[in-house]
Structure 1
Amino acid sequence: MPSLPDTIRHVDAYRAVWRWHFYAGLLVLPFLILLAITGGLYLFHQEIENAWYRDLKQVQVATTPTLAPSALTQSAQRAYPGTLAKYLPPAAPDKAAQVVIKPDTGDSLSVYVNPYDGHVLGALPERGTLMWTIRRLHSLDYFGPIANGAIEIAAGWSVLLVLTGLYLWWPRGRKQGVISIRGTPAKRVFWRDTHAVTGAVAGFFILFLAVTGMPWSLVWGAKVNQWANGNNFGYPAGVRVALPMSDEHLAHMGQTSWSLEQARMPESAPSHAMGEPIGLDAAVRAFNRLDLAPGYAINVPQSPTGVYTASVYPNDLVRQRVVHLDQYSGQPLLDMSYADYGPLGKALEWGINVHMGQEFGLANQLILVAACLAMVLMSIAAAAMWWKRRPTGSLGIPPMPAARGALRGVMVLMIIGGVIFPLVGASLLVMLVLDLIVQRLTRRDTRRVPSAPVESALEHRPSRSNS
């Protein structure tokens, strides 16, 4: 049986961790629900869009040969006048060709064309599809850079939430409420156990998704991207070559891999500037000879020094590739794949691929969607548990430990996180100030909630029975 001083130390440590777990939950749980729902949907973005836009993306396979890319793009431009920006050859015999047109006014359009007869099937805003909307909600991109930065903060606090949650869940001699759920939904213990058990199971996935989502973040992701991918035109080590470069970046041309977001676009060689461009048909033949994975997209040159750029990001990370062709000679200027990335770039790209449910096929998708459902359940259980525990007229913030030294471990954890993730560090400082204000207000109130310290102590008391 633990001595009284040991019990007091355990209670103080528990209070310190519980208090900051509560604060982390206040910040993270609303975001966690949003990220889980939108992320779970986006795991199946290809399947959903193929079904949702079936009349645009699917065609009847014909016995006749497909038309030339130039003929398909001309059909698209006749139906929707504007500048040709991008061409996506059919990824399979039953798929439509996709032509991206930039009209004189408004956003770019994705025009879908039957590759066998050139019939235009319809058009959608290039970045206004159902899954683009889900993706922008997932990153809070709809609400500007400040909201986007909130996702970075939420991801950092999620790490603190998981680590403190695992500490609170740890059995310490208990046999009930560890992997089992007690009571009924009418009782607080039911929601406590649901939250704790679900969190213990989903904790690893929350940590993984939080860390692998950081490369997209506003501050940390951008800085690590610069450091990981070098300074010479933004290309990974091993593919830096002496080529004329424009000021345009690959990420501005469309969706690209994390490792190439800052890569500058090469220019067609000046020695060929007086020749005739090879045209889209020849460019497609050249890319096909280079054996790019099906589903690649081609950005067409927009100036006399522009290049044809083909990019593809399939589920198989090894086949991820970006190729730039000189628009006059048709020769590859840069040909980059996953193998060319540096060690950190490879690690982060792998994490991103798993994060998006692509690396291990259907199993990857199903495991992560189960984790997303667990996050939603855990968040609902946390809200129900708090609602049943909170005193009337109060937020029910867990009490401060009697000994301030009990906070040291949590503070060290937060300082390390704040140094690694600057926005998280700034938010931690804000929360520390708010916590000091809460403590001062609490000291003015002489009322106490007797159940909290008793409950904390019981969490640490070894149990010899299942009762």
Structure 2
Amino acid sequence: MSVEPAVHTSSADPEAREPGDPPGRTTWASLRPLVLRLHFYAGVFIAPFLLVAAATGLLYAGSYQAEKIVYADELRVPVGVDELPISRQVEAAREAHPEGEISAVRPAPEEGATTRVMLSGVKGVDATHTLAVFVDPYTGEPTGTLEQYGSSGALPLRTWIDEFHRDLHLGQTGRLYSELAASWLWVIAGGGVVLWFGRHRARRKVRGTTGRRRTLSLHGTVGVWAAVGLFFLSATGLTWSTYAGQNVSDLREAISQTTPTVSAGIVSGGEHAEHTQSGGSGDAPGEDVGLDAVLEAARGERLSNPVEIVPPADASSAYVVRQIQRSWPEKQDAVAIDPATGEVTDVVRFADYPLLAKLSRWGIDAHTGSLFGPANQIVLAALTAGLIVLILLGYRMWWQRGRGSGFGRPMPRGAWQKVPPHVLVPLMAGVAVVGYFVPLLGIPLAAFLAVDIVLGEVAYRRGRRTYATGS
């Protein structure tokens, strides 16, 4: 991948061409050296970022089950006879923890599970997190408190691993690493698949081969089997990245495919001016139907467990009750309820989401391992482990390519010159478009090309001087 002048290109690498393929006879024969060079250099320079993303992703895949074990005392209680009204459970949580404000309540989703009362604005708790007070729904006794993050209700262990995977605990700047990895993963995987199927069948065998050829065959076999999953991880990872993710959001908005939200505004005028934001929790006096009536109204709209109740944000807002099940089948319906009358003022059904909104929801939940539960997490663990193996095999091939010199020989420059113009021009145009929408693919690629041009020119000038002086 270089725009180096033809007069000083290196001789073709034997691995860049299949035996018996006449140079220039087929489009694939001319494209293969270019794909090989891109796959090689992207693998060498991007693999460390992918290795970190894969290792932390492997940890995250197991974090759901680990969370259930580590926080069993807060999450589970002996099954009782009858559950207390949700308002009584919230009152018990507030008596034990009067600090902060109620931001949401998650009633116990199943028998033996605890209710979560989330408090925001608590001193010592990250502003983007909440303090979850866990309450036994049968006795009203608090079982503990833990810091919670995100709509999935991640507790400290999973939150730490999630942030490690997402940004290495470096904040917004750290997110660039994961976006870089996601931006290049599909390119590297796609290039590997193209190269693998472009090889003769006899050269794809693993059994009976030795040395670098065996490593190459193992690398290719694992890569082909994992390719679909790696494409998926790359695409879904980009949907909530900083730059490419914003481009995806802008595109969805432009074609009216955004995720709909329930309207929490009160439409009945100023009759609620005296209402408080207590959410029926006893924080302050005021006219309010209370959490029990709100939950009953939501049940009347077929909102089954698990649900989250969000109190009114201000005097002119409604309660919002939404389903929060991310496993299949997903439950994402939401309703708004008037705090004065208990009447439902708005309903949003997941079944009515636009197609891209549904695909985005399913994709993100599958990426995080919640869509199909433990089976989903096992597949993710296998994929991330496979990616780690691929990277290690790739570096081993590089070492073996150097014949023990410590570093493998680089792929020769000038591969682009073998591509016919009618293929090269649309190919470069497509790369430019993709690079614009996925900037952490386009910018590093442009930087690589610039450096490669400079190094090629320097090598060329040195070669001419050596030839002219005869030294």
TM-score by length of 2: 0.78
Structure 2 SS opposite 1:139: helix
Deviation per residue, 1:328-377 (Å, 9 max, x gap):
22222332222222122223333333333444455444333322221111
The Cα shift of 1:180 comes to: 4.5
Q: Is this contact kept in 2: 1:357–1:365, CA < 8 A? A: yes
- Which among 115, 119, 124 is matched to residue 106 of structure 1? 124
Q: Is this contact kept in 2: 1:272–1:329, CA < 8 A? A: no
Counterpart amino acid of residue 259 in structure 2? S
Residues 377/106 of structure 1: CA separation in 2 closer, same or farther (3 Å cut): same
Q: Is this contact kept in 1: 2:24–2:30, CA < 8 A? A: no
Task: Tell which deviates more after alignment, 380-389 or 345-354.
Answer: 345-354
Counterpart amino acid of residue 137 in structure 1? F
2:157 match: 130
Q: Is this contact kept in 1: 2:77–2:136, CA < 8 A? A: yes
Between the aligned partners of 1:3 and 1:60, the Cα distance in structure 2 is 71
Q: Is this contact kept in 1: 2:105–2:308, CA < 8 A? A: yes
Between the aligned partners of 2:415 and 2:236, the Cα distance in structure 1 is 38
Identical counterparts, % of pairs? 26
2:453 match: 436
Between the aligned partners of 2:433 and 2:209, the Cα distance in structure 1 is 36
Between the aligned partners of 1:332 and 1:75, the Cα distance in structure 2 is 27
Residues 87/432 of structure 1: CA separation in 2 closer, same or farther (3 Å cut): same
Deviation per residue, 1:19-70 (Å, 9 max, x gap):
211222134322323333333443454433222211110000112x222222
Structure 1 SS opposite 2:79: coil
- Which among 315, 319, 343 is matched to residue 308 of structure 1? 319
1:406 corresponds to 2:419: yes
- In structure 1, runs of 5+ residues without a counterpart are 238-257, 447-467
Q: In the TM superposition, what are the counterparts of 1:63-462 in structure 2 within 5 Å?
A: 63=81, 65-82=82-99, 83-107=101-125, 108-127=130-149, 129-140=156-167, 142-170=169-197, 172-178=199-205, 180=207, 182-183=209-210, 187-229=211-253, 259=259, 263=261, 266-269=264-267, 270-273=269-272, 274=274, 276-314=287-325, 315-390=327-402, 392=405, 396-401=409-414, 404-406=417-419, 408=424, 411=428, 414-443=431-460
Q: Is this contact kept in 2: 1:299–1:310, CA < 8 A? A: yes
Task: Tell which deviates more after alignment, 85-94 or 398-407.
Answer: 398-407
Residues 374/104 of structure 1: CA separation in 2 closer, same or farther (3 Å cut): closer
Deviation per residue, 1:154-173 (Å, 9 max, x gap):
22222211221122222532
May I ask how many residue pairs the two structures share in their alignment? 417
Between the aligned partners of 2:78 and 2:231, the Cα distance in structure 1 is 44
Q: Is this contact kept in 2: 1:88–1:296, CA < 8 A? A: yes
Q: Is this contact kept in 2: 1:325–1:333, CA < 8 A? A: yes
Between the aligned partners of 1:362 and 1:3, the Cα distance in structure 2 is 48
Structure 1 SS opposite 2:174: helix
The Cα shift of 1:89 comes to: 0.3
The Cα shift of 1:100 comes to: 1.0
Between the aligned partners of 1:47 and 1:115, the Cα distance in structure 2 is 23
Between the aligned partners of 2:367 and 2:87, the Cα distance in structure 1 is 37
Counterpart amino acid of residue 48 in structure 1? A
Q: Is this contact kept in 2: 1:195–1:382, CA < 8 A? A: yes
Residues 323/3 of structure 1: CA separation in 2 closer, same or farther (3 Å cut): closer
Counterpart amino acid of residue 401 in structure 1? G
Structure 2 SS opposite 1:67: coil
Counterpart amino acid of residue 39 in structure 1? G
Structure 1 SS opposite 2:102: strand
Counterpart amino acid of residue 204 in structure 1? V
Between the aligned partners of 1:376 and 1:141, the Cα distance in structure 2 is 18
Residues 328/3 of structure 1: CA separation in 2 closer, same or farther (3 Å cut): closer
The Cα shift of 1:3 comes to: 6.6
Between the aligned partners of 2:385 and 2:431, the Cα distance in structure 1 is 28
Q: Is this contact kept in 2: 1:268–1:305, CA < 8 A? A: yes
Structure 2 SS opposite 1:146: coil
Between the aligned partners of 1:103 and 1:69, the Cα distance in structure 2 is 22
2:46 match: 28
Structure 2 SS opposite 1:109: strand
The two structures, once aligned, show a CA RMSD in angstroms of 3.2
1:453 match: none
The Cα shift of 1:104 comes to: 4.4
Deviation per residue, 1:251-279 (Å, 9 max, x gap):
xxxxxxx825xx58632343431461222
The Cα shift of 1:318 comes to: 4.6
Deviation per residue, 1:424-465 (Å, 9 max, x gap):
22332222212223323444666xxxxxxxxxxxxxxxxxxx
TM-score by length of 1: 0.79
The Cα shift of 1:298 comes to: 1.5
The Cα shift of 1:93 comes to: 1.3
Structure 2 SS opposite 1:110: strand
Counterpart amino acid of residue 455 in structure 2? V
Between the aligned partners of 1:333 and 1:30, the Cα distance in structure 2 is 52
Counterpart amino acid of residue 272 in structure 1? E
Structure 1 SS opposite 2:178: helix
Structure 1 SS opposite 2:314: coil
Counterpart amino acid of residue 196 in structure 1? G
